[in-house]
Structure 1
Amino acid sequence: MLNINKIHHAAIICSDYAKSKAFYTEVLGLPVIRETYRAERNSYKLDLLVGKDHQIELFSFPGAPPRPSYPEAQGLRHLAFEVDDIEEAVQKLQNQGVAVEPVRIDETTGKRFTFFSDPDALPLELYEK
């Protein structure tokens, strides 16, 4: 059996690198760890810090196919971010022009959560601590 410590990163391929970079850094406020342009692939890789020790890798690949369907396509269903105050986080997203679904209660945990989308319609979730 493997001795897995944690999830290190989630990788996202975007359709418009500049638009997605602005969304993740300016709207969500994720700090940039490093940005790399790979000329041989005509591709960018942007490493973003989530919290103290987690990362999102944002990639651009020319000609990448779109996501097959929303919301229940096979594969990654959504990416969830933990927040301390869901109402405050929702308000900040809405102030940036991001559409956010109504806040719901998780029937299993009793915690509040909601969904919104990134520029490529990748479903993202806010989950209250």
Structure 2
Amino acid sequence: MFKVYIVGDAIRVVRRFSLPNVDEGDLSNNAGVFRFPRVSCAAASADDADLDPCVAELPPRPLLEILARELRRRLGLRLFNIDMIREHGTRDRFYVIDMNYFPGYGKMPGYEQVFTDFLLSLAQKEYKRRPSYSSGEGGDEREG
């Protein structure tokens, strides 16, 4: 599973352990109860794990950029994350399985800098949009 964090224009991806695939044969042999040994570790990062190269490969950057841009446009959000999975046996088929409109960013590496840059960019945009006053009219004096 891939957690894709969108913070303004920044996109960061973190691999997470996912539940294993269940074969159709397993479905017919069990009464709907499956044992998944790593569920308690599912939130742990998979970055250092010995993963199959197909599983370890992140979603393509162009796909993430298009997806993030379209979600920003349609939803009007600048802070959100999505969970994505890759279809078993494929390299290029991904599904968005969850979306959070204000996720916790604590598990995103380097979140402090990314989040600070985002807040600063918002403040700078707002500052530039403010009307400029000449020094003779009183009020806010500023350059540029």
- TM-score, normalization by structure 1: 0.24
Bigger helix share: 2
- Please say which structure displays the higher CA radius of gyration: 2
Bigger strand share: 1
Structure with greater contact order relative to length (CA < 8 Å, sep ≥ 6): 2
- TM-score, normalization by structure 2: 0.23
